[in-house]
């Protein structure tokens, strides 16, 4: 269901040139009628507002019942930082955050984690941009578990593409739940984006392309 907040977020992505419509080749080789590139968030105002969208969903889902936010390198780093700031600023939920380096540092404090150092038993929330095939999360969990025996029950992303994952008949998000026990929460789904397009005049061709793509590749 396209709520006012979801509509606002979709329009925010479009205004930020993060959500585009046309024909785009994805990493999986599929020709997608839409593309989400969170690397196009470039200003302080954009990253601040983005953090507020995420923070609202984190608060609704988890309240303050978690110990830290983790942002996987690279795109997760500014996301987790912004969400931590928004949670404290808007909701009064002040939680630590941390992220990983792609390569471990061999001088100074060393290690491959920056920021909060997790402890055994910590409940960690992951902040990411999107999930396509679930590859990134399969790399992230070993990094976290190597640092401490943490519990990861929730992950937040911008868009759930609802696409078939590595195995037929299931999506990457459902695979993450099955393989790791992590509930993935998205600000919007592909169905929300399609519903938004259909509610705006002049998008008939985009809606047709979305319907064709979703029928072929998505599980709703």
Number of alpha carbons in the 13 Å side-chain half-sphere of residue 99: 18
For residues 50 and 75, the answer to whether their CB atoms sit within 8 Å is: no
Q: Which residues are catalytic?
A: 105, 107
For residues 203 and 175, the answer to whether their CB atoms sit within 8 Å is: no
Across-strand partners of 111?
105
Q: CA-to-CA distance for 83 and 55, rounded, in angstroms?
A: 5
CA–CA distance from 123 to each of 98, 144, 158 (Å)? 13, 11, 21
């Amino acid at each position: 269901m396209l709520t006012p907040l979801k509509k606002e977020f979709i329009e925010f992505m479009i205004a930020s040139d993060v959500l585009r419509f046309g024909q785009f080749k994805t990493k999986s080789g599929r020709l997608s009628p839409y593309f989400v590139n969170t690397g196009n968030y470039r200003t302080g105002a954009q990253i601040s507002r983005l953090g507020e969208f995420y923070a609202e969903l984190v608060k609704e889902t988890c309240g303050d019942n978690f110990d830290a936010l983790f942002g996987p390198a690279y795109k997760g780093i500014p996301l987790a930082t912004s969400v931590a700031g928004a949670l404290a600023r808007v909701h009064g939920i002040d939680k630590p955050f941390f992220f990983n380096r792609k390569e471990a540092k061999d001088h100074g404090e060393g290690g491959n984690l920056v920021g909060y150092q997790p402890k055994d038993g910590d409940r960690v929330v992951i902040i990411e941009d999107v999930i396509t095939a679930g590859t990134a999360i399969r790399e992230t969990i070993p990094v976290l578990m190597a640092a401490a025996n943490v519990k990861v029950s929730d992950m937040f992303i911008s868009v759930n593409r609802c696409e078939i994952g590595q195995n037929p008949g299931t999506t990457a998000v459902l695979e993450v739940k099955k393989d790791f026990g992590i509930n993935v929460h998205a600000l919007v789904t592909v169905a929300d984006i399609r519903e938004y397009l259909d509610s705006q005049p002049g998008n008939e061709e985009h809606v047709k392309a979305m319907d064709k793509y979703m029928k072929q590749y998505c599980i709703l």
